[in-house]
């Protein structure tokens, strides 16, 4: 009897040791552990800590991720503070599917910031990560820059990059299906005229900044904010209200290949007429680059898509705004319709493609006080968010619609 018990115990112990000593088998088990529990598992032993923190573990975990899916939008009013006055921190979270989804920004890990967390502003987003900074516009030497993952509540504080003489622009590059590491691109001016500057790239893998492109002349009609990450490059559009000069690329779009440190141009969208800046949209979704430009008297909206070979833009979708205005008459009552010459008061917040999930793609629009989800397949639409604005006769005109900056939220990026 004793021998039988001893043999059974030894066999059970040997099975556990077999798993624990087989790094490949143990790694396969750990890869299936939810991210938040991995933090606890790192404390089990030095061996487990090593396995979980190796670059190979992160790469394999990234490969197991499903295609990125935008499930919500962060929208924030641009800062209007001067000197060291606090910025308004109106950060709204608009869920796109489950309206009961909590706001991930409410638990933002900005506790280590030496300034008031409410002064944090969002500068950009890329595949689930947010690029943020403190909001002290007058003192650039004390501005802190962050990369924040709302899904994991993980916050990285970036080291200072070389200071600019005047203007500086920041963009974020991250593809979780290729690498768990992200990069931040900074254009910093080196001349007092703000027209010549250098591109610097920060890598989360090395934790350092490096010089990418030096002494670049920035055309007057080109603004490097916000940049859009697509196909390994950051893309910027020039001022489309400036008519291009024959034989000149000054009004073309500009892109920077992040890994190669190479600049290039791509054609401007075929827009004729003056655009309303508040209704323009430039962004990426499901590996497609889109542009939406709206003229003041527009009654319909065209969605342009850039071909993958960068050769030209083409119309992908066309939206008639009249049916929406009949259901939401506030679109025709806002004072912008009279002051700015708009037919309808609306702004384009985002375009969400869903072909990878076999779902209908949709456009997200803001009208005074509400957010509308417009189905690009069957032309149906519905309100998905209400800003709780009192739309009496005296209140409808004070809603500052079209003044938001919008960033996509993509959840479950647990490899970062």
Q: Give the pLDDT mean for 20-25.
A: 68
Q: How far apart are CA 90 and CA 83, in angstroms?
A: 19
DSSP run (H or E) holding 306: strand 300-306
Contacts of residue 336, defined as CB under 8 A and 6 or more positions apart, other chains included, come to: 342, 345, 401, 402
3-state secondary structure of 289: strand
Structure tokens at 237: 């559009």
Confidence of residue 290 (pLDDT cuts 50, 70, 90): very high
Asked if residue 243 lies in contact with residue 236, where contact means CB atoms within 8 angstroms, the answer is no
pLDDT exceeds cutoff 70 at 338: yes
pLDDT exceeds cutoff 60 at 64: yes
- CA torsion 140-111-77-272 (nearest 10°) is 70
Confidence of residue 258 (pLDDT cuts 50, 70, 90): very high
User: In the prediction, which pLDDT does 166 show?
Assistant: 65
Distances (CA, A) of 154 to 192, 252, 413: 37, 37, 11
Maximum distance among all alpha carbons in the chain?
96
Q: For residue 183, list its beta bridge partners.
A: 173, 203
Structure tokens at 211: 């010089």
3-state secondary structure 362-401: EEEEEECCEEEEEECCCCCEEEEEECCCCCCCCCHHHCCC
Residue 241: phi and psi, rounded to 5, are: -85, -10
DSSP run (H or E) holding 75: strand 70-76
Give 252's DSSP letter.
S
Q: Give the pLDDT mean for 319-331.
A: 92
Give tens-digit pLDDT for 190-230.
Answer: 876 667 889 999 999 899 999 998 888 887 767 787 789 99
Q: How far apart are CA 278 and CA 300, in angstroms?
A: 15
Could you check whether the bond before residue 298 is cis, i.e. omega within 30 degrees of 0? no
Residue 147: phi and psi, rounded to 5, are: -120, 125
3-state secondary structure of 51: helix
Chain centre distance of CA 391: 31
Asked if residue 292 lies in contact with residue 303, where contact means CB atoms within 8 angstroms, the answer is yes
Asked if residue 239 lies in contact with residue 219, where contact means CB atoms within 8 angstroms, the answer is no
* Percent share of the chain, pLDDT over 90: 26
User: In the prediction, which pLDDT does 203 show?
Assistant: 94
User: In the prediction, which pLDDT does 247 show?
Assistant: 46
Q: Give the pLDDT mean for 379-392.
A: 80
Residue 77: phi and psi, rounded to 5, are: -70, 140
**Is pLDDT larger for residue 320 or for residue 7?**
320
Q: What is the mean pLDDT of the chain?
A: 78
User: In the prediction, which pLDDT does 152 show?
Assistant: 77
Q: Give the pLDDT mean for 294-323.
A: 90
Q: Cβ of 242: how many Cβ atoms within 10 Å?
A: 14
Confidence of residue 276 (pLDDT cuts 50, 70, 90): low
Residue with tokens 């490899």, as numbered in its chain: 415
Contacts of residue 97, defined as CB under 8 A and 6 or more positions apart, other chains included, come to: 71
- CA torsion 81-277-143-193 (nearest 10°) is -110
User: In the prediction, which pLDDT does 269 show?
Assistant: 87
pLDDT exceeds cutoff 50 at 160: yes
User: In the prediction, which pLDDT does 315 show?
Assistant: 93
User: In the prediction, which pLDDT does 84 show?
Assistant: 44
Q: How far apart are CA 58 and CA 63, in angstroms?
A: 9
Structure tokens at 357: 């999930």
* Percent share of the chain, pLDDT over 70: 69
Q: How far apart are CA 39 and CA 330, in angstroms?
A: 49
Q: Give the pLDDT mean for 288-311.
A: 88
Give tens-digit pLDDT for 73-92.
Answer: 988 876 554 444 444 556 78
The DSSP code sequence of 186-243 is EEEE-STTSSEEEEEEEETTTTEEEEEEEEEEPPTTB---S-EEETTEEEE-B-TTSP
Residue 168: phi and psi, rounded to 5, are: -145, 145
- Which one of 168-177, 250-259, 292-301, 314-323 scores highest in mean pLDDT? 314-323
pTM: 0.79
Residue 59: phi and psi, rounded to 5, are: -65, -45
- Which one of 31-40, 82-91, 113-122, 159-168 scores highest in mean pLDDT? 159-168
């Amino acid at each position: 009897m004793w021998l039988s018990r001893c043999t059974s115990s030894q066999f059970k112990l040997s099975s556990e040791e077999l798993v624990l000593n087989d790094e490949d088998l143990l790694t396969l088990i750990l890869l299936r552990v939810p991210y938040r529990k991995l933090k606890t598992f790192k404390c089990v032993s030095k061996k487990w800590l090593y396995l979980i923190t190796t670059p190979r573990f992160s790469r394999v975990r990234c490969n197991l991720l499903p295609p990125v899916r935008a499930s919500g939008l962060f929208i924030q009013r641009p800062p209007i503070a001067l000197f060291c006055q606090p910025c308004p921190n109106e950060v709204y979270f608009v869920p796109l599917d489950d309206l009961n989804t909590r706001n991930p920004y409410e638990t933002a890990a900005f506790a280590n910031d030496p300034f008031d967390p409410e002064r944090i502003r969002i500068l950009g987003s890329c595949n689930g990560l947010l690029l943020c900074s403190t909001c002290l516009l007058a003192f650039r030497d004390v501005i802190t820059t962050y990369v924040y993952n709302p899904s994991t509540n993980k916050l990285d504080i970036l080291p200072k990059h070389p200071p600019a003489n005047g203007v500086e622009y920041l963009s974020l590059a991250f593809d979780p299906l290729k690498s768990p590491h992200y990069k931040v691109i900074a254009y910093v001016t080196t001349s007092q005229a703000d027209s010549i500057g250098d591109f610097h790239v920060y890598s989360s893998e090395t934790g350092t900044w490096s010089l990418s492109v030096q002494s670049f002349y920035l055309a007057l009609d080109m603004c490097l904010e916000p940049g859009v990450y697509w196909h390994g490059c950051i893309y910027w559009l020039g001022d489309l209200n400036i008519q291009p000069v024959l034989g000149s690329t000054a009004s073309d779009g500009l892109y920077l290949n992040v890994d190669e440190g190479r600049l290039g141009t791509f054609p401007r969208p075929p827009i004729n007429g003056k655009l309303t800046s508040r209704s323009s949209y430039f962004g990426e979704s499901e590996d497609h680059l889109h542009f939406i430009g709206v003229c003041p008297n527009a009654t319909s909206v065209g969605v342009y898509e850039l071909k993958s070979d960068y050769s030209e833009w083409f119309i992908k979708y066309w939206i008639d705004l009249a049916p929406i205005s009949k259901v939401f008459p506030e679109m025709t009552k806002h004072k912008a319709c009279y002051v700015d010459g708009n037919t309808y008061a609306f702004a384009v917040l985002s375009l969400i493609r869903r072909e990878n999930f076999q779902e209908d793609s949709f456009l997200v629009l803001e009208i005074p006080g509400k957010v509308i989800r417009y189905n690009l397949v069957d032309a149906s639409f519905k309100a998905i968010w209400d800003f709780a604005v009192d739309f009496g006769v005296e209140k409808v005109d004070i809603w500052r619609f079209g003044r938001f900056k919008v960033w996509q939220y993509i959840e479950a990026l647990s490899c970062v």
